[in-house]
Each structure stands twice: as C-alpha cells, then as structure tokens.
Amino acid sequence: MPHVQRLALVRVARAVPEVESLLVERFGAQREPDGTFTTSVRNDPTTAGVLTMRAQPAAAATGDDTPATEVEIEAETELGLPFFGGVVEALVALHYERVVDWTAKVIEADVEGHEEPELPKAVPLLPAVPFTREQATLLLTAGFAIAIATFGSSIIGQFSSDIAHSFRSSDDTLGVSLAILRIGALVALFASALADRIGRRRVVLVALVGVAAANLVSALSPNLAIFTAAQTVTRGASAAAVIAAGIAAIEEAPEGGRAYATSILALTGGVGFTLTVLLFPLGDRFTWAWRLVFLLSAAAVICNRAIARKLVESSRYERTAASNIERGRLREVFGRQYASRFWLLAAATFLTNLLTAPSAQLTNKYLTDVHHFSHLGIVVLRAVTTAVPGFIGLILAGRLAERYGRRPVAATALAIGAVVRAVFYLGSGPVLWIASAIGDLTLSCGFIAIGVLNTELFPTETRGTSNGFIGLIGVLGSVAGLLMAGALSDPLGGLGRSIALTTIGTLVAALLVVPFLPESAHRNLDEISPSLPDDL
C-alpha cells in the first residue's frame, strides 16, 4: 500500500529513561511492545497518521561521561489515493516533515530549557479536519470526473471566436447559439433528479459518456445548427456530472470539511478549464484547432473505467436509499420548510449567471476583437490574472467559509467581484490585468460559498432534484445574460460595455439576496437539512 513517510533524528544530553518519560508526558505517547513510543500526528489531515519515536543510547563524545540519547522520529500514513493522489501525498509529506521537525525541536527545547517552537501552520491545500482514505478517494474521484466534464463543456467558451469564424456567424448569431445550448439544463435537471432516485454514481458515469459522444459530434459538425444541438447535449451532460459528483463528495465529507471539499472540486474543475486554455494557442496556427480539442474531449471517455472502479455512492445516500424515505419528491423542494431556501438560492444563481455566462463564453472574443489579443496573449493574461488568483481564491474560499460562515463570505466576495469585473470590461491596458486578477480571486470565493449552500440547505433525498432546478433557473440567467450581451453590443458601442452591464445582477444578489439565506457553517448536515416524513 503506498504510504507517506518522514524521518528525523535528534540527539539530547539526557539518559534514555528521562527522554522516554518526556515523550509520554509531552506528547501523550504510548509505549509499544517493540520499545517504540507512538502518538497521533498533530493536525493530521488523514485519520491514520502515526508519529513513532524510538529513544536509544547515543555514543558519548571522547572524554565526556554525560549520558546522551538519540531519538528517531518518524511520521507515516497509508494513503494510496487515485487520480490527483500524487499531489495530495506530496502535500501530506510536507506536513509530516514539518511535524517531525517540530517534534525534534520540542524535545530539544524541553531538555535544554528553551522556549518551545509554535506548531507549524497547516499546508494551505490540506483540510483543517481529517479525511478518511475512503472520503478522500471519493473526493478525488469526483474531482477527476468533474475535471473531464468541465474540460468538455468549456471548449466552446475558449474557442467561441474561432467557431464563429468557421461558421461565419455574427456576434448576435453566436449569442443566440450560445443561449440555445443552455436548453441542455433540461437534461441536467432530469439527470440530477435521477441522481436522487438511482444514485449519484450511475448518473456521473452515464453523463461522462454523454459529454464524450456529444463532443465527437461537435468536432465533426458541418454547420452551426448541428454544432449547437450537440453542444446542448454537452452542456446538459456536463452539468449533470458536475452536480451528481459534487453532491456525492460533499455528502461524504466530514463535518467542518464540506466547504473545503467544495473548493477542491472547484480546483479540479479548474484543471479541466485550464486544459482548454493551454490548448487555445493552437487557434493561432490552425483555424480548425477547435475541432481537434473537441476530439480530445471525446477521447477522454477511456477514463470512465478507472472512474467507475473508484467512484462509490456516499454513505449518506446509501442510508437514505435503504430507508423508507421517498426520494426525489418535488413537493419537498417547494414545500414550506425548504421553499424559501430554494427561491433565494435560485434568485442568487439567476442573477450571478447574468454575468458568469457571457464572461465565460465571450471574454476571449472580447479580448480578441476589442483589445486585439492573440491566442497566446490571452493564455498569458489568463495564466497571470486568472489561474494564480483564482487558485488562491479557491484555497481561501474553503477556509474563510468554514471560519466566518458561508453567507458573509458570499455577500462580500460577490459584491467586490461584481464591481471589479465591470472595471475589467470597461478598462484597458494595466487595468485589464489588475481588475482580472482581483475579480477572479473574489468571485471564486463567492461562488464557492454559494456552492456549499446549494448542497447543504436540502435533504439527501432531494439534494439532486433541488440542485437541478436551481441549475435550470440559473440557465435562464445565463440565457438572459448572453442575449443581453450579444444584443446590446452594437447599441452600447462594444462587447465590453454590454458584458459590464450584466455585473449589476451579481451586485444585486450580493446585497439583496444572499444576506437572507440561512447560515450553515458549524452545523451538522442532518441538522441543517433534515429528511422529512413521506406524509409531509
């Protein structure tokens, strides 16, 4: 079984019995039959980490009769995680190295009477609460599935200008096409509701096949009509995979780790998006490069077998499925206990999607047509102002949402992000770079906080159904935003001004909708959204 291991050796001027007593008193270590002393790893991100210490006599220096002891310190845990597991193991190894070094310094400080060092800070990408191997495996597997789905659905946003040129479409025509493919939300709604009835796992696997098949058709499309129809399926299947996989991972996450799980899922989704960005410069060399990228997405279906081996149902869903609770009930989503939550989240999603849809689909076209960026130039801009700040924002989001609450983080971040994003679309030169960086950092924090609430505020038996309906209403916002951006581009004097106008929705959501949502931080998931009896 693959494992993480870190080792250190410290020498102190004390007899072995004294040092062994120190290990018991200072670290709460327990003596094992083999003479070693074991205790748990401080701030362990796993549930299986063990700190092992072995005290043995050390050879005294020539002419020195002072007793000396060498303490061998080892921290290890078994992981064997799939997909992004290598990254996780490296981060855990870094944490263990810090803990081992800290333990050695504490022993030296106690023996020599010095002030003890502070416990090292947690590695940013690791959770504040421990995950079991099973929880981590589900999180990473769901994240990998989301990365594939996001890669498949983000291609059109990156290559929209190239696609429009290939089919000789105007801004208005492209905007209509992008709006039409949002009908795929009906597919996502149906699949999300099925996730409550037949399980999250089945929906994820079938949806990934749907993404691959639809993108194969997209790559071979002879005209915009067929391309739009295929992308409608891609949009729906991708959304279904993201919703179902995200729900499974968050349901399985430990208490205090749901916001962290959401941020990790967003990071893995960002991997899929980043891949399309990295492939975007191909458009500078080949006018048909977008077709090749769609083919790559279709080929990703070969990963389904590996995902199927590791993806399991959440234990929370399995308990609900084994009970007599009816799953996927619409009347529960719109009933007295959950209706206000639903409509508030739906309103927030609709208003924020007025911006996120045109921003995702038309920003590259805006940069190309208005500021004359090359494909490579756009990649550089996104790498500097989106990838790094967005990455930092996603890391911060999980910790901030757990510490300060989902509601204040969402309201503050969305308000700041809306204003700064408007500046991005109205500015030029250095303003583009600064506003892009700040906007992506803050908006990522806000969207993570809202994303956690989408899952937490509904019971297990209707979590997929409620998310599907919220997604559908969000799509209406996307359609409105895309149509607004496309139709007002000429009257307002440019695509930048029309997209900037859509930021008003996000600002309204931050100030007038999010503050009325219930706060779910520091509460048990079953307490936040308890299951209701069948005769509700």
Give the CATH number, domain containing residue 92.
3.30.1370
Q: Does 103 fall in a domain?
A: no
Task: State pLDDT tens for residues 289-305.
Answer: 889 999 999 999 999 99
The reply to whether 182 and 74 lie within a common domain is no
Task: State pLDDT tens for residues 322-332.
Answer: 887 788 777 77
DSSP assignment of 204-262 equals: HHHHHHHHHHHHHHHHT-SSHHHHHHHHHHHHHHHHHHHHHHHHHHHHHSPTT-HHHHH
Question: Does position 55 have pLDDT exceeding 70, yes or no?
Answer: yes
Give me the percent of the chain exceeding a pLDDT of 90.
35
**By C-alpha distance, which of 301, 299, 288, 265 is closest to 143?**
265
The reply to whether 65 and 147 lie within a common domain is no
Question: Does position 488 have pLDDT exceeding 70, yes or no?
Answer: yes
Task: State pLDDT tens for residues 223-241.
Answer: 888 898 898 899 889 989 9
* Number of neighbours of residue 384 by Cβ within 10 angstroms: 13
pLDDT given for residue 141 in this prediction: 96
Tell me phi and psi for residue 10, to 5 degrees.
-130, 140
Band the pLDDT of 116: cuts 50, 70, 90: confident
> Mapping DSSP to helix (H, G, I), strand (E, B) and coil, where does residue 74 land?
strand
Residue that has been written with the tokens 């040129």 in this structure = 165
pLDDT given for residue 64 in this prediction: 60
- The Cα–Cα gap between 73 and 12 comes to 13
Tokens for 325? 């609770």
- The mean of the pLDDT values for the chain is 86
CA 342 centroid distance within chain: 22
Question: Does position 152 have pLDDT exceeding 90, yes or no?
Answer: yes
* Number of neighbours of residue 113 by Cβ within 10 angstroms: 6
Mean pLDDT of 209-213: 96
Spell out the residues 6+ positions from residue 331 whose beta carbon is closer than 8 angstroms to its own: 536
pLDDT given for residue 178 in this prediction: 66
* Number of neighbours of residue 243 by Cβ within 10 angstroms: 29
The reply to whether 379 and 490 lie within a common domain is yes
- The Cα–Cα gap between 513 and 529 comes to 20
The reply to whether 76 and 173 lie within a common domain is no
pLDDT given for residue 321 in this prediction: 84
- The Cα–Cα gap between 216 and 221 comes to 9
Q: How many residues does the chain have?
A: 536
The reply to whether 195 and 85 lie within a common domain is no
- Provide the residue type at 18 as one letter: E
pLDDT given for residue 422 in this prediction: 93
Question: Does position 284 have pLDDT exceeding 80, yes or no?
Answer: no
pLDDT given for residue 531 in this prediction: 75
Q: Higher-confidence residue: 418 or 485?
A: 418
Q: Higher-confidence residue: 352 or 60?
A: 352
Q: Does 122 fall in a domain?
A: no
Question: Does position 534 have pLDDT exceeding 60, yes or no?
Answer: no
pLDDT given for residue 265 in this prediction: 92
Tell me phi and psi for residue 402, to 5 degrees.
-75, -35
Q: Does 120 fall in a domain?
A: no
The reply to whether 245 and 299 lie within a common domain is yes
Mean pLDDT of 87-101: 90
Question: What CATH number has the domain bearing residue 172?
Answer: 1.20.1250.20
pTM: 0.84
Q: Does 157 fall in a domain?
A: yes
Distances (CA, A) of 168 to 291, 330, 491, 493, 495: 16, 43, 21, 21, 18
Q: How many domains does the chain have?
A: 2
Q: Which domain holds residue 50?
A: 3-96
Question: Does position 209 have pLDDT exceeding 80, yes or no?
Answer: yes
In a 10 Å sphere around its CB, with 0-12 CB exposed, 13-18 middle and 19+ buried, how is residue 11 labelled? middle
pLDDT given for residue 368 in this prediction: 85
Task: State pLDDT tens for residues 160-184.
Answer: 777 877 787 766 676 677 667 777 7
Q: Does 117 fall in a domain?
A: no
The reply to whether 210 and 80 lie within a common domain is no
pLDDT given for residue 536 in this prediction: 47
Mean pLDDT of 458-477: 88
Task: State pLDDT tens for residues 415-450.
Answer: 999 999 999 999 888 888 999 889 888 998 899 999
pLDDT given for residue 290 in this prediction: 87
The reply to whether 26 and 86 lie within a common domain is yes
**Residue 378 · residue 407 · CB < 8 Å:** no
The reply to whether 61 and 160 lie within a common domain is no
Q: Higher-confidence residue: 27 or 534?
A: 27
Q: Does 68 fall in a domain?
A: yes
Q: Does 108 fall in a domain?
A: no
The reply to whether 240 and 365 lie within a common domain is yes
Q: Does 408 fall in a domain?
A: yes
Band the pLDDT of 1: cuts 50, 70, 90: very low
Q: Higher-confidence residue: 256 or 393?
A: 256
> Mapping DSSP to helix (H, G, I), strand (E, B) and coil, where does residue 5 land?
strand
The reply to whether 285 and 426 lie within a common domain is yes
pLDDT given for residue 5 in this prediction: 66
**By C-alpha distance, which of 367, 359, 411 is closest to 390?**
359
Largest CA distance in the chain: 92
Which of residues 41, 73, 96 is at a domain's end? 96
The reply to whether 84 and 147 lie within a common domain is no
